[in-house]
Amino acid sequence: MKRVLITGIFLSIVFPMIGQTFQPANKSASPLTAKLYNNLFKALPEGILFGHQDDLAYGLGWEYIPGKSCVQDAVGEYPAMYGWELGDLELDAVFNLDSVPFQMMKAYIREGYERNGVITISWHANNPVTGKNAWDISGNAVAAIIPGGEKHQLYKTWLDKVANFMLDLKDSKGDFIPVIFRPFHEFTGNWFWWCQNVCTPAEYQALWKFTFDYLTNTKQVHHLLYAYNPEKFESAGQYMLYYPGDDYVDIMSFDFYQYGDPSNNSDFENTLNKRLGILTELAKKHQKLPALAETGFMNIPYPEWFTKKLMKGIGNHQISYIHLWRDGGLVNGSGQHRFAPSQDHFIPVGRDPSFMDFYKLYISNKFIFGNKVRDLKLYQ
């Protein structure tokens, strides 16, 4: 691991192992999935794939307009990665918890894949004990759904529905579309029913392993790459405490958002730099892809956040992708929050002031958007 000092901040640089072949955790992974995994390793020196949640579905003031994209509105290119959400699928709902119809989501996934984009899917599953949403932490839910738990059979029916959704994701040739699957994320927080305050490391690992084994072996879903994804951590030991093992993980990632007023402190970029340093060293040791799976600053009130905070924190860390969270838009009824700027976004005093800063991120050549990801041919 080479470490360099730039403007007082230590930055870790991960160099891919030249000529090495990387085996997905699923030893029966589909050829397209194995190609994507290895090509993402090869792409590490090329830049960081830029992703956005629900990018094709809606934004501020619009929803479900064919061909429209929040990122494309801003910079003239689609993102390299498209994020989607399965929450409420387990309830047989027509819409996910962000009000996107599941059938429409499948079409958007195919659309992004046809642009050679990478697909990632999270799952804010409802609490299987109480029937309330993912943010209800009561009921010892993880213990209830792992093998031997009172809700284990119910959980298997939920996984059946996840498998059916995934197995319906096929391209025009009939091949399964590879997906980065990111279940049970942010477990080092205290807000989900699978978090550390209501779940032991052994329980979490049992849940992860059963989920992986059931989808892989029982349901024969072979086009998923699995992303392990805590939120806060301050050491390698904390990051690895809930880790289910190399045989069950493909991507090591974490989530990290800006809060507070970034104009009078450097907490965000310093912490991001520190955690990326830990992450990239662990990813190299375990031969996994490193990534920043969720990030952003709600409503972007600090207009230079992208360059002076996000890019500064990333520095020269070599990671596979970053993923901004979703814009509010009409779908959630409020239209009051966003994470990606656009030329179309106006505020009471004029045009969104963060737009030009985001454009500086775009032209920095540090990040990979839709045009370059197409040229990388990640599925070939």
Parse the chain into domains and list their residue ranges.
2-376
pLDDT digits (tens, 9 = 90+) for 124-169: 999 999 999 999 999 999 999 999 999 999 999 999 999 999 999 9
pTM of the model as a whole: 0.93
* Amino acid identity, position 157: T
- Give the mean pLDDT of the chain: 91
Q: What is the mean pLDDT of residues 167-190?
A: 97
pLDDT tier for residue 17 given thresholds of 50, 70 and 90: low
pLDDT digits (tens, 9 = 90+) for 278-322: 999 999 999 999 999 999 998 888 989 999 999 999 999 999 999
Cα dihedral 335, 339, 343, 349, rounded to 10, equals 70
The residue with tokens 């596979």 is: 320
What is the structure's pLDDT at 14? 47
Please name which of 235, 227, 320 lies closest in space to residue 282, comparing C-alpha atoms: 235
pLDDT above 60 (res 16): no
Instruction: Transcribe 170-212 into DSSP letters.
Output: B-TTSPBPPEEEEES--TTSSSSTTSTTS--HHHHHHHHHHHH
pLDDT above 60 (res 233): yes
What is the structure's pLDDT at 65? 93
Provide the 3-class DSSP secondary structure of residue 42: helix
Q: How far is CA 76 from CA 59, 79, 168, 183, 242, in A?
A: 15, 10, 31, 32, 40
Helix (H) or strand (E) holding 4: strand 2-6
Q: What is the mean pLDDT of residues 40-68?
A: 93
Please name which of 249, 338, 253 lies closest in space to residue 71, comparing C-alpha atoms: 338
Provide the 3-class DSSP secondary structure of residue 13: strand
Contact 329, 300 (CB under 8 A): no
Rounded to an integer, what distance in angstroms lies between the CA atom of residue 327 and that of residue 341?
A: 9
The arrangement of secondary structure in 2-376, i.e. its CATH architecture, is: Alpha-Beta Barrel (3.20)
Rounded to an integer, what distance in angstroms lies between the CA atom of residue 205 and that of residue 243?
A: 7
